[in-house]
């Protein structure tokens, strides 16, 4: 009797599941889910110590890292602005407008290559880039090391965090500390995560419909897949029309021209304006780009499938992206 009563519901669930499977190509993409800390690849498989992370946080907020001592990492990657700056393109310490948009820093612990064109292979390597760049922080590393060694706080804390390193303040330890702090910027408790954990009320009806579209006919899943909604890959989605060749400037190939890194979409509501050049102002406009771009240009990534969405469906997709919001509160440390 009982079984009989349940049968229609089970059958319905099976049909829903089946159509979902078909819609997303039999689960062929890495599934969207809550990220697993076990999958983080630390350099040499060593998790950083609490001291190293705390030191990295202070460095991230310290304006000593720029030549004129007027800019820290947090000036551009502002925790209150989704670890971006809200500008179309970044602005350097002497006012120069940079070539690209400042990306967010959420869940980069799981990422493989860094920058929009993937030119840095680790967060450690990446961190030393903006410090030395003459249009960004414009400070030579030996000068930075000298500056930090002159501060008693840093003398003490570098020595404590890196007892095996002689000297304790070095390019290696500065890069390691900053990267270690960045790997703690983890957002994994959005309404989407609670929904996946079984709390069906965590996402609105709109967001749930948006999720089905995201996985299904809107084809976002082609590239925004895996726990952080990125394949960590490079695609030409038709944003760059000027001379920024993206990945191709780093690696030649049939698939790298005007290809840029797929950004992770966690907290995407907070990280506008969007794209490598900051050229799209709202999430609604982003979705419209995916409807329009495949109709205009023939040289896009083959994963840019032609899609059609109604106005309501566009809003549903935006609602789903909104359900990926779980801001990270970072209290700025006391910089010595």
Instruction: List the catalytic residue out of 136, 171, 182, 206.
Output: 136
Q: If we measure between CA atoms, which residue out of 324, 103, 104 comes closest to residue 214?
A: 324
- In the bound state with other proteins, the residue whose beta carbon lies nearer, of 61 and 162, is 162
Query: Which of 126, 138, 173, 180 is the binder for ligand HEC (CB under 6 A)?
Result: 126
- The span from the CA of 245 to the CA of 30, in Å, is 28
| Known catalytic residue at 182 | no
Rg for the chain, CA atoms, rounded: 22
297: region left, alpha or beta (phi > 0 left; psi from -120 to 50 alpha): beta
Q: What are the counts of helices (DSSP H) followed by strands (DSSP E) for the chain?
A: 11, 2
From the list 40-48, 68-76, 173-181, 278-286, the region that binds other proteins by CB under 8 A is 40-48
Nearer to ligand HEC by Cβ, of 115 and 153: the residue is 115
For the beta carbon of residue 274, count every other beta carbon within 10 angstroms. Answer: 21
**What minimum distance in Å lies between the beta carbon of 30 and other proteins?**
6
For residue 117, the minimal CB distance to other proteins (Å) is 12
CA angle at residue 213 from 212 to 214, to 5 degrees? 90
- Helices 311-322, 205-215: crossing angle, 10 deg rounding: 100
Pairwise CA distance, residues 23 & 62, whole Å: 48
Residue 29 engages other proteins in binding (rule: CB under 8 A): yes
Residue count at the site for ligand HEC (CB under 6 A)? 54
160-219 residues in contact with ligand HEC (CB under 6 A) are 178, 182, 218-219
User: CB–CB of 155/81 below 8 Å?
Assistant: no
| Buried/exposed 211-222: b ≥16 CB within 10 Å, e otherwise | bbbbbbebbbbb
Chain center to CA of 149: 32
Check binding of 37 to other proteins (CB under 8 A): no
Q: Considering CB distances under 5 to 8 angstroms, the limit depending on partner class, which of ligand HEC, other proteins, none binds residue 100?
A: ligand HEC
Selection from other proteins, ligand HEC, none that 45 binds (CB < 5 to 8 A by kind) is other proteins
Selected binder of other proteins within 74, 113, 270, 275 (CB under 8 A): 113
Residues 155-194 as x/- pattern, contact with other proteins by CB under 8 A: ----------------------------------------
In 3D space, the residue among 108, 101, 106, 112 whose CA is nearest the CA of residue 234 turns out to be: 112
Task: Name the nearest CA neighbour of 237 among 253, 222, 215.
Answer: 222
Of 196 and 315, the one with the shorter C-beta distance to ligand HEC is 315
Please give the sequence-ordered ranges of beta strands (E in DSSP) within the chain, or none if there are none. 234-235, 260-261
> Distance between CA 62 and CA 143 in Å, rounded?
15
Query: Considering beta carbons, is residue 30 or 99 the nearer one to other proteins?
Result: 30
Per-residue burial over 152-164, b if 16 or more Cβ lie within 10 Å, else e, is eebeebbeebbee
Q: Figure out which of the listed residues 32, 73, 177, 215 binds ligand HEC, where binding follows CB under 6 A.
A: 73
Q: Smallest distance from the beta carbon of 1 to ligand HEC, in angstroms? A: 46
CB 266 within 8 A of CB 229: yes
Residues 248-287 that bind ligand HEC (CB under 6 A): 260, 262-263, 265, 268, 271, 274-276, 283, 286-287
Residues carrying an active site annotation: 136
The residues of the shown chain that bind other proteins, judged by CB under 8 A, are: 25, 28-30, 38, 44-46, 112-113, 118, 222, 225, 231-235, 247, 251, 253-256, 259, 301-303
The residues of the shown chain that bind ligand HEC, judged by CB under 6 A, are: 65, 71, 73, 75-77, 90-92, 98, 100, 102-103, 105, 108, 114-116, 123, 126-127, 130-131, 136-137, 178, 182, 218-220, 222-224, 235, 237, 239-240, 260, 262-263, 265, 268, 271, 274-276, 283, 286-287, 290, 301, 303-304, 317
């Amino acid at each position: 009797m009982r079984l009989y009563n349940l049968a229609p519901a089970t059958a319905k669930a099976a049909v829903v599941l089946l159509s979902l499977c078909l819609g997303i190509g039999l689960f062929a993409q890495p599934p969207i889910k809550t990220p697993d800390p076990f999958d983080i690849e630390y350099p040499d498989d060593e998790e950083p110590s609490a001291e190293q992370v705390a030191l990295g946080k202070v460095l991230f907020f310290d304006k000593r890292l720029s030549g004129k001592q007027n800019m820290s990492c947090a000036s551009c990657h502002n925790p209150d602005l989704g670890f971006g700056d809200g500008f179309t393109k970044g602005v350097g310490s002497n006012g120069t407008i940079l070539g690209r948009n400042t990306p967010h820093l959420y869940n980069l612990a799981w990422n493989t290559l860094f920058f929009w064109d993937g030119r840095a292979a680790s967060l450690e390597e990446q961190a030393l880039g903006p410090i030395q760049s003459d249009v960004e922080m414009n400070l030579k590393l030996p000068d930075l090391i000298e500056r930090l060694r002159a501060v008693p706080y840093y003398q003490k804390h570098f020595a404590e965090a890196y007892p095996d390193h002689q000297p304790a303040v070095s390019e290696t330890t500065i890069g390691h500390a900053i990267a270690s702090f960045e790997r703690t910027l983890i957002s994994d408790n959005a309404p989407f995560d609670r929904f996946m954990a079984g709390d069906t009320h965590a996402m609105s009806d709109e967001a749930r419909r948006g999720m089905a579209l995201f996985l299904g006919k809107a084809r976002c899943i082609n590239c925004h897949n895996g726990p952080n909604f990125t394949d960590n890959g490079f695609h030409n989605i038709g944003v760059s029309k000027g001379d920024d060749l993206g990945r191709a400037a780093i690696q030649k190939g049939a698939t790298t021209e005007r290809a840029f890194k797929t950004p992770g979409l966690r907290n995407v509501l907070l990280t506008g304006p969007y794209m490598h050049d900051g050229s799209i102002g709202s999430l609604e406009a982003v979705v419209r780009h995916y409807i329009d771009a495949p109709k205009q240009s023939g040289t896009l990534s083959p994963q840019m499938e032609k899609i059609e969405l109604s106005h309501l469906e566009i809003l549903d997709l935006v609602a789903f992206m909104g359900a990926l919001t779980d801001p990270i509160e970072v209290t700025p440390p006391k910089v010595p």
